[in-house]
Amino acid sequence: MRAMVLDGPGRPLELREFSVPEPAAGQVLLRVRACGLCRTDLHVVDGDLTEAKLPLVPGHQIVGEVVTAGEEAERFSAGDRVGVPWLGRTCGECRFCRSGRENLCDRASFTGYGVDGGFAEFAAADERFCFPISPDYPDLQAAPLLCAGLIGYRALRMAGDGERLGLYGFGAAAHIVL
């Protein structure tokens, strides 16, 4: 497969050939159909986020089609469309994971930062952190929902049933919520 690879902070991405990843237990192998580009990806490439796995395939707004599943992966079947966000894996045991705040897990791993992402023809992802995507929703419109869309949705859900809601700042997450 072809993939865009980051070798070090501030270096340009390079197109390289790799073997198609084998999905581990609990993972699915995806044929990448689209992958959005987020400001966080630029922070990773620029070295502003300093603990990236190197070399690295960036990209955390993946829309893909399931090709195959590793052992113990049962949520999706070949041909299903799924989305893969920034949060790629958590411990599932800490107080944050047990209280629905997995994004704060100290042992979390992030797509396109700690594990290879979607700037490639194929990607492997933990099925627990994949979202089903309706077959009639276009790939290019679905990809940004896997970052700003999830952030906005989570914030809106956590706001509860108030009569009014104030949105501070006005990035993509707030735009999508509106």
User: What domains lie within the chain, and their CATH numbers?
Assistant: 2-137 (3.90.180.10), 147-178 (no CATH)
| pLDDT tens digits, one per residue of 98-114 | 998 888 999 999 999 99
Tokens (6 digits) for 71: 């052992």
Angle at 102 between CA 132 and CA 78, to 5 degrees: 25
CB 64 within 8 A of CB 123: yes
The mean pLDDT value of the chain amounts to 93
| pLDDT tens digits, one per residue of 63-78 | 999 999 999 999 999 9
Instruction: Return the pLDDT at 52.
Output: 95
Instruction: Return the pLDDT at 170.
Output: 66
Sites in the chain below the pLDDT cut of 70: 170
Q: What is the pTM for the complete model shown? A: 0.90
Instruction: Return the pLDDT at 29.
Output: 98
DSSP states of the chain as a string? -EEEEB-STTPPPEEEE-PPPPP-TTEEEEEEEEE---HHHHHHHHTSSTT--SSB-----EEEEEEEE-TT--S--TT-EEEE-SEEE--S-SHHHHTT-GGG-TT-EEBTTTB--SSBSEEEEEGGG-EE--TTS-HHHHGGGGTHHHHHHHHHHHH-S-S-----S-SHHHHHH-
